[in-house]
Amino acid sequence: MQQVRTAKAENFPSPRNGPEEEAALVLQRYGVAPTPGCQLQPNDIHGWTPTTPAPEAVSSIPKVVTVFGGTGMLGLSLLKKIAPQFEKVRLVTRDAVSAQSKIKGIEGNIEIVTGDVQDYDSIEAACEGAGTVINLVGILFETSEEKMHDVHYQGSSNIAQAASVAGVTNMLHVSAIGAVDQAPSRYQQTKGWAEGAVRTKYPDAVIFRPSVVFGPDDNFFNQFAKFPLPFIPLVGGGTSKFQPVYVEDVTDAIAKCATSDVGKGTTFELGGPDVYTFKELMGKCSTKPRMFIPADLAAVQGWFMEWMMPRPMVTLDQVRMLEIDNVVAEGASSFADLEIEPKSVDEIVPTYIKM
């Protein structure tokens, strides 16, 4: 008589942690709980749609922010406002010792990182793991080691590329009013190129274009107040228009966008509440009566100071900038869009420029 063999399933151990977990997984997958002795029928699962897990909520404030150019007047003001709101702030600088002394007293988890915007590898390392990158880097005059093309354009290109590689989601970039490719000054021209480099990598970057920034450590009112000669160059015939903006107002705008999604893809032009001619501004920074000299002599003086002083007070490139209007363009996004009311020159400048 032929022996009948009965098929028997192999006893594979279950990867589940007991029958309760298996039952929960069946319920999640099919929408019904398993019943002992019964099998699921097509009617039981007809029309069933799997429930996908709810995505983890994305924080509007990235945990790590990397700041380039954070040791100047603008940067130190900004650090005080954003450091308490991030788990870590990476401050990228070429001189760690100097940076350490400058940030003394600023609360927050600030990590000083040695890097140079012209050294791509150091920039990429500084961006790793960051959710937000803020570029404040800028120079007002060139030296044998620093050229505006390298610092503004190439440096911004390096930062944008490195941030992209690191997966940074929030890019903020500080430029300047008048930053266009064909600007008459090297400063504004290279700032314009930098904006293009940033927008190429980050179409939703937030770009800030401040007018002349003033504050206790500014390079405008302080420079002209300390002018060593008995006259001040009347650049542009004294009629060029400016809209000076208080440093704390500028950093309020940057901080607001750094800690939220406000301003994505927007270029903000930031100017104070009042517009002045150059001659009017010179009257607000002179601590004693001064004479004015014609613009052509100002240009000659700018050239002289650019090449004869290690840290020039006025350069020819700055004279070119001072010859044209520097005000917020009509229709541009501004402080009003950020619900910030800027302070005036008359409120702040007399507190540090004694007439």
CA distances to 40, 70, 251, 284 from 246, rounded to whole Å, are: 71, 17, 9, 15
Sign of the C-alpha dihedral, residues 299, 303, 304, 309? positive
pLDDT tens per residue, range 160-197: 999 999 999 999 999 999 999 989 999 999 999 999 99
pLDDT (average), residues 258-269: 95
Residue 235 pLDDT > 90: no
Percent of the chain having pLDDT more than 70?
A: 77
Highest mean pLDDT among 31-45, 47-61, 67-81, 300-314: 67-81
pLDDT (average), residues 90-109: 94
Q: What share of the chain is helix, strand, coil (3-state, %, to 5)?
A: 40, 15, 45
pLDDT class of 226 with cuts at 50, 70, 90: confident
pLDDT tens per residue, range 155-168: 999 999 999 999 99
Distance from C-alpha of 129 to C-alpha of 209, rounded to nearest angstrom = 27
Higher pLDDT, 3 or 341: 341
Distance from C-alpha of 243 to C-alpha of 281, rounded to nearest angstrom = 10
Residue 20 pLDDT > 60: yes
Residue 266 pLDDT > 80: yes
Highest mean pLDDT among 33-42, 109-118, 137-146: 109-118
pLDDT (average), residues 34-63: 52
Highest mean pLDDT among 11-20, 59-68, 248-257: 248-257
Higher pLDDT, 65 or 315: 65
pLDDT (average), residues 89-110: 94
Of 211, 229, 226, whose CA–CA distance to 297 is shortest? 229
Q: What pLDDT is stored for residue 8 in this prediction? A: 47
Mean pLDDT of the chain, nearest integer: 85
Distance from C-alpha of 52 to C-alpha of 36, rounded to nearest angstrom = 27
In this structure, are residues 153 and 186 in contact, taking their beta carbons and an 8 Å threshold? no
pLDDT class of 232 with cuts at 50, 70, 90: confident
For the ranges 136-140, 288-292, 296-300, the lowest mean pLDDT is seen at 296-300
> Which residue segments constitute the domains of the chain, with CATH numbers given?
64-351 (3.40.50.720)
For the ranges 85-94, 121-130, 263-272, 307-316, the lowest mean pLDDT is seen at 307-316
Higher pLDDT, 125 or 50: 125
pLDDT (average), residues 229-252: 89
* Model confidence, pTM: 0.80
